[in-house]
Structures are given as C-alpha cells and as structure tokens.
Amino acid sequence: MLGKYPAEPFRIKTIEFVKMNTREDRQRIMKEAGYNTFLLNSEDIYIDLLTDSGTNAMSDRQWAGMMMGDEAYAGSRNWFHLESTIKELFGFKYVVPTHQGRGAENLLSKIAIKPGQLVPGNMYFTTTRYHQEANGGIFKDIVIDEAHDSVIDLPFKGNVDLKKLQKLIDENGADKIAYVCVAITVNLAGGQPVSMQNLRETAELCRKHGIKIFMDATRCVENAYFIKEREAGYENKSIKEIVLEEFSYADGCTMSGKKDCITNIGGFLCLNDEDLFTQAKELVVVFEGMPSYGGMTGRDMEAMAIGLKESLQFEYIEHRIKQVRYLGDRLIEGGVPIVMPVGGHGVFLDANRFCSHLPQEQFPAQTLAAQLYIESSVRSMERGIISAGRDIVTGKDHKPKLETVRLTIPRRVYTYAHMDVVANACVDLFKNREKIRGLKWVYEPKQLRFFTGRFEYV
C-alpha cells in the first residue's frame, strides 16, 4: 500500500471511543431521525462521513496554540497572527473574520450583489446560492458540461466554461453581473479541481469586462495539490506557491476554516477593494462580532493560523488526497458506481446508477444514505434533488443531473482500515440494491431543507 497510498504522516496521541449499534437498533434510530442522516446523534455513529467541515483532528501544535488564546473582545493578538498568516499565504490586502464560511458568504452577498444581478458560478453550492438569492442575485451555472456527468473522467472537471461566461456577458452586459464565483474545488461535482490555466483565462475575461472574481477557497489546498499532480509546469512548485498563484487571479475569497485550515470552527472573507472592505467591516459587527474576532474565540483563531500553515505541507496533503482516492479505488474494484474522477474531500456514490430502480422523485440519494447507515453504522449525506431545493420563482424542485451520496473524509481522523469498512459496506449494499425503497416528504423546511427535513418510505 505504501507508495500508491502513503501511510499517515502522523502518530495518534489521543483516541475517542465509538460504539457499534445492532442493525435492529439502527433501523429504529434511522426511522426516529426521519431517514435524514443529519438528524442522527453522533454517539450512534461508528464511522462519520457526513462532512469534512469542522470534523478535523487538530495537531499537538494547534492544541498548544489553543492555550495561548487571547480572549480580549477587541485587538486579540491571535487575530493579528491569523490576519498576517492569511495575507502571507493568500496575498489579499484585507481580511474580515467570520464564525464560519457561510458568515463570509452572507457578508459578500450583501455588499457585492444588487437585486436582479446575475452571479455566474462553476456549479452551485447550497449555502452559497442561498445567500446569493436571498440578497437578490440570480445564480447561473457556468461549469463545463462534463461536470454534470458522473462517468466522464477529466483531470479538471471543475473548470469554468468560458464560452458560457462570455455568452452571459454578451446577452446581459457586464453591469448585470455582480461577480463571478469560482469554487476551488467544486464540491457538488465530486470535489473536482480547477486548473490554473482556467483560473488565469477566467480572470483575463473578467478583467477585460471589469467584472470581479471571488473564489470559494474552502478547499484551495486540495485544488493546489491536483494542479501540482496534473498540470504541466507545476510539478516542481510547492503547494504554497501554487495556492498564492491561485488567488492572484481573484479579487477576494470566502473561506470556511473548518476544511483546509484543519480546525473545528471559523472562517474569513478576503478582499482587495478598500470600499468593499469598509462595508464588510461595518456589517461584520452586526452579524458576527468585532472585526478582530468575527465570531471566533482567540484560541480558535490561533489554531486556524497554525492549521493553515500545516495544510500546506506536502506530506499532509498528499496523504489527504490519496486516502480519499484509496476509498474510491476500493469501490471501483467492487463495481460500485461513483463520480469520476475521485475528488479531493470525498467519494460520491452515483445514486442514479446505484438505485436505478428508483425515480428521482423518490429521492434515491436520500434513501441510499439512510440505508447505508442501517446496514453499516456509516453516516454519509445526500447531494441530489433534496440538497438542490426548489426554484425561488416557480417553486418546483431543481432536478440536478447528479444525484449522489457523499462519503466525506474528515482530515487526520480515520485510517485506511476504516476506509475498508466503508468500502465493504457499500459493495455489499450494492449487491442487494434492489431492496432499497424510495422516500417521500413528511416535513419539508422552506430553506436548506436537507438539514432538517424528515421522510418516510413510499
């Protein structure tokens, strides 16, 4: 296994005990949770692949930094450490701290979108699109068509389709576009990266028309690894150099520190425009906290500064990507249909092919995630019609081409042996897939329904 799948570049110092319920217990627990894996209790989970957001294991250096927390309400020294680290590694002029990524999305949407403006992006993400639409924006998908096809295997499947972007500009005018949102990587496409060439060309097109680019930087280090691995001319560059170049093509970014900063909470908004920065500073006091903590404690900011530096270490990110790839390879060997190629933060089961006997109206991804828990005590999450939500104008369901179950790997938490358990469970379930039953709504929330919605069998 060494070489193709490198061993963990760390030693385990502290452990957390977990339990395995019986199948009968899990059937009851899943029914009580309304067949929504978000509503399960953590203590009832054996392997938790719900998300990689805030579920990371921090290093001894991060924990030591937590003891140096300056919990002053204003002017914390930990804030100045975090601010200087972000500026050094990302290259932006201004930083506004937030409690997590969606806090940054809220601020950006409020200061950068006028009602009726278009917000083109390389595939939607749930909270991002919500904030854009809540502030009067209209999301437009400009990712390459191949990103919506689970079978096609491309090295940079998250790329912006420049022809789609140019067409939007030609048909609507540059003034009608609030900004272009580029996610690195693209979550709902399966954690797919964007090439540096595509970032460069997108920036050239936008600057030609005076349009700003803001990146969703949540997994920018993972994206940098793929560039180093797959793009000619970057094989000898460091992860740090690649990350800095990625952001040279943007006017700012939103960041959830709960992913590539390897922390459990926190985020920030980066900007180069002083006027936007002034507006963001005024609003952060209303929604998050002072501009020197933004909803985070001093100790969290210290851990984030340290974690961000650790994430740029090649040994860390190589193991991170290849542990995910190991799970994907095991599933492919077992004949389980997944989104290709395997992305950076998780493996996405193709629920349309896995549960081909179920129509999308019976929520194949939602029921597959529920059944996987019942069979194995592995928690995953739906990324399909439930997550896509309803059209804000027509009220009808968005019906994405990708109907997936996301097996998201927390950073520095699980071993290859845990990946074997997950793979074996998925393979066994696939062999008995015809027994999986469809679901229908019992309770449908009006906003971000995948978090708290409840279901029952059809």
What are the residue numbers of the active site? 73, 125-126, 216, 259, 383, 450
Query: In 288-363, which residue ranges form alpha helices assigned H by DSSP?
Result: 298-311, 314-333, 351-354
> 91 Cβ partners below 8 Å, 6+ apart?
244, 247, 248
Can you tell me whether residue 102 is helix, strand or coil? helix
Query: In 334-415, which residue ranges form alpha helices assigned H by DSSP?
Result: 351-354, 364-376, 385-388
Can you give the C-alpha Rg of the chain in angstroms? 21
Tokens 């959830």, residue located: 256
Can you tell me whether residue 358 is helix, strand or coil? coil
Question: Is residue 341 reached through a cis peptide bond, with omega within 30 degrees of 0 on the bond before it?
Answer: yes
Structure tokens at 60: 């001894």
> 291 Cβ partners below 8 Å, 6+ apart?
96, 97, 281, 284, 285
User: Using CA atoms, how far apart are residues 61 and 13, in angstroms rounded to an integer?
Assistant: 12
Q: Is residue 251 packed enough to be buried (19+ CB in 10 Å), middle (13-18) or exposed (0-12)? A: buried
* 282 within 8 A of 294, measured Cβ to Cβ: no
Structure tokens at 402: 């990708």
> 395 Cβ partners below 8 Å, 6+ apart?
none
* 218 within 8 A of 257, measured Cβ to Cβ: no
